[in-house]
A and B are shown apart, each in its own frame.
Chain A
Amino acid sequence: MLNKQLERIISAGIDIGTSTTKLVISEFSLMNVAGGGQVPKIEITDKKVLYRSPIFRTPLLSDTVIDIPAVQRIVESEYHHAGITMEKIQTGAVIITGETATKQNAEEMVHQLSKAAGEFLVAAAGPDLEGIIAAKGSGAYQHSIETRKTIANIDIGGGTANIAVYRSGTLCGTCTLHIGGRLMEWEGAEMKVAPSIEQWLKTKGYSPSKENRGIITDEMAKVLARFLDNSYTKEDEQLLVGKVPSWTGRIEGLMFSGGVSDCMYHEELMCTSFQDIGMTLATSIKENKELAYWEWEKPVETIRATVLGAGTHTTEISGATIEVNDSHLPVRNIPVYRIDFQGVLEQGIEGMTKAVQDAITIYDPQREGQNFAFYLTNLPYLSFRDIQLLTFAFTEALKQKPNQQQPLIIVMDSDYGKVLGQTLLASQPDQPVICIDQTQVEHGDYLDIGRLLRSGVVPVVVKTLTFHN
């Protein structure tokens, strides 16, 4: 009760980007931050980076295929350099970013690594998550909290620019553009243009040559500025990956991270080794008048922003009073079905049967037994009888599930995890339960839940697992 036990866990972050691959190993300190006489509250109180790998070129077998064994060799040798074995790693994330995510074997890569790189949690990124993770690694997220300002982090790598906008620590929106340092590269005199920008170049009437590269990157910088202040044109939309910007309101400051930012701030001076437009793009951005209109904040990390974000900002910690069956953990890639109670218990209970039915239809249409998690949100204050009613409704509704042996996974934002878990077990002792609380997820998110830690909490990684086809 009174002693402040400390627990340390090791987290790995691996970022496999369009041009480069890198890895970080960090250590988290977990501590009970609740006072004596309180129910424990475990938080990550400190994060320390133990090891940063050098920047590797992402190994490719061809334009469309990642060299998986070569990536694995990098990971193994870097673990060795870090003095760490994969059994020690308890959490972390693999992020496949930019153009690499569109490679044929991107998904296979993630699955391979999750087996070979340790018993840790794996997040394969979609462009939104990429931007969010980069904003956390670059320091933009933290800066927005400290200054209470609206900050856009623009992470420009080889293939894409991922924008994430934070206001006082709250995500306002994301946007991804085909703007990157490796979209045009040359071998000798021969110019190679990425298919993603061919149409745009054609519309603009630019012929892709080494001489024209300055004009092209200048225009890219202008497009970026127009997306940031929501004045983009139909033509500009050709550079859009996915949806248009989702934030509203004015951006007050910009932060640049990623490989191109490294060229802007000359931190590692490695840009010259690439025969591509990275350096030119960096210059265009620095000299662009529209972008200069905003205040620029210097990032804490440039080229390693995403990998640091992956290694240190993807793991959350569940509430301390939970009910989990550790022999069924870890679980990975569990889709989330949200049940909104809107503050009324009866409303949630009435919709329970339909919710389970819906969840099966969406996530397990072939009834093969793909498991999913229920996210209970906006729960009212619950008495013990309410918990029993909820349990009864759940058990009844779950009879529709094709595989009854599967653990029942429940996540909630309020603090009822342990009692609901125990009540479910009291009513059905053979049904394994994973019931965690004080964790926020969204409908359609995917969830990884790690093994039970000594402090009585589980690490959780919330992610959007979308490979853009």
Chain B
Amino acid sequence: MGINEPFNKEELEDLITKTPARIGIGRAGTRPRTDSWLKFRFDHAAAVDAVYGDVSEVLLKRLDLFKVKTRASDKEVYLRRPDYGRKLSDEAKQMIEAKCIKGPMVQIIISDGLSSKAVEENVEDVYLSFKQSLLRANLDVGTPFYIEKGRVAVMDDVGEILRPKVIVLLIGERPGLVSAESLSAYFCYEPRLGTIEAERMVISNIHKGGIPPVEAGAHLGTVIQKILKYQASGMSLVKKENEEEKSTGSA
């Protein structure tokens, strides 16, 4: 707390616990206090680092993931040309074709997206817990791999090559000043070229200060089962669910 003599200390402390926003930080004249200003600069720098950083080879090796690239050749291009991040490079396509099991029930892919830090910090726990829940549900899982400089829709290219029932893409979210390491899990039932965005769905905010990565991983298994049951994702899934509810009259 940055306020020296708050009118109601208990109440302010209570409010501060309710939001990660920078409230009750006080001021020095008309400017922020040095502490709050430095903290702000620090968080901003962390966000920039998260965007420009790379996921370490050590992590990829530990999770036994091979690495492929998109058409975005470097970070500057990646940032300016989102469409490049949605397309696999030709080498990537060949490598995936050569190394992966075709037509699995569930295909897991991982990408740095806009935060390599999110992957570095959280992906292992999500991935291991997720794999455990898939194993328990007896679902066959394809060969997982890592896509560098990917965007969400890159899963359509993967869908064309491997033709899985469902793709799950664990990808770093655009960093913010609250967290630079938040991870999202995007799902799509049978993604192919031409898949529209409404068919995708997401579980976001997976990080230490949000949904615990291990718990998120366990939950992802439940989501997959639902997608396979309805053979749909995104808005189509919602529609099918509602139809079923109406026909059973249970709402």
Contact = CB atoms under 8 A, between A and B. Distances in A.
Q: State yes or no: do A and B come from one complex.
A: yes
A423 B241 CA distance: 29
B218 A418 contact: yes
A454 interface: yes
B235 A418 contact: no
B58 to A, nearest CB: 16
B105 interface: no
B154 to A, nearest CB: 19
Interface stretch (B30-38, B123-131, B158-166): B123-131
A381 B215 CA distance: 11
A454 B250 CA distance: 10
Interface in A1-57: 1-3, 5-6, 37-39
B139 interface: no
B251 A39 contact: no
A86 interface: no
B23 to A, nearest CB: 18
Interface in A402-444: 414-419, 421-423, 425-426, 437
B132 A38 contact: no
A148 interface: yes
B214 A39 contact: no
Contact of A37 (B202, B219, B251): B202
A39 B241 contact: no
Interface in A341-384: 381-384
Interface in A190-249: none
A387 B214 contact: yes
Name the residue in A3, A323, A419, A437 with the highest tally of chain B Cβ atoms < 10 Å from its Cβ: A419
Interface string B111-154: 00000000000001100110011011000000000000000000
Name the residue in A148, A383, A426, A437 with the highest tally of chain B Cβ atoms < 10 Å from its Cβ: A383
Contacts of A1: 201, 223, 237-238
A1 B124 CA distance: 24
B136 A425 contact: yes
A421 B211 CA distance: 17
A414 B210 CA distance: 12
A321 interface: yes
Contacts of A148: 11
Contacts of B238: 1-3
A383 B216 contact: no
Interface residues of A, number: 29
A62 to B, nearest CB: 48
A419 B129 contact: yes
B231 interface: no
A416 B251 contact: no
A425 B135 CA distance: 11
A321 B214 CA distance: 11
A3 B223 CA distance: 14
Contact of B214 (A37, A419, A426): A419
Nearest to A454: B250
A423 B242 contact: no
B214 A416 contact: yes
A395 to B, nearest CB: 15
B211 A422 contact: no
Contacts of A415: 211-212, 215
Given A381-B208, A416-B214, A321 B219 contact: yes
Nearest to A6: B251
Nearest to B128: A384
B235 A2 contact: yes
Name the residue in A1, A381, A415, A426 with the highest tally of chain B Cβ atoms < 10 Å from its Cβ: A1
Contacts of B211: 38-39, 415
Given A384-B217, A423-B132, A37 B212 contact: no
A76 to B, nearest CB: 28
Contact of A384 (B125, B221, B223, B241): B125
A382 B124 CA distance: 12
B74 interface: no
A454 B241 CA distance: 13
Given A321-B219, A425-B136, A387 B235 contact: no
Contacts of B11: 148
A382 B212 contact: yes
Contacts of B125: 383-384
Contact of A5 (B129, B136, B217, B251): B251
A38 B128 CA distance: 20
A63 to B, nearest CB: 49
A383 B62 CA distance: 15
B70 interface: no
Nearest to A421: B218
B216 A39 contact: yes
Nearest to A40: B219
B245 interface: yes
A414 B124 CA distance: 20
A465 B240 CA distance: 46
A422 B136 contact: yes
A107 B185 CA distance: 51
A323 B129 CA distance: 14
A38 B203 contact: yes
A39 B204 CA distance: 8
Contacts of B213: 383-384
Name the residue in A39, A381, A454 with the highest tally of chain B Cβ atoms < 10 Å from its Cβ: A39
Contacts of B222: 321, 418
12 contacts: A5-B241, A37-B184, A38-B211, A39-B219, A381-B208, A381-B212, A384-B128, A416-B212, A422-B129, A422-B132, A425-B136, A454-B250
In the complex, the 7 A-B pairs of residues with the closest C-beta atoms, listed nearest first: A418-B218, A419-B218, A384-B128, A419-B214, A37-B202, A384-B125, A37-B204
Given A39-B211, A423-B132, 6 more contacts: A37-B205, A39-B216, A382-B212, A415-B211, A422-B129, A437-B215
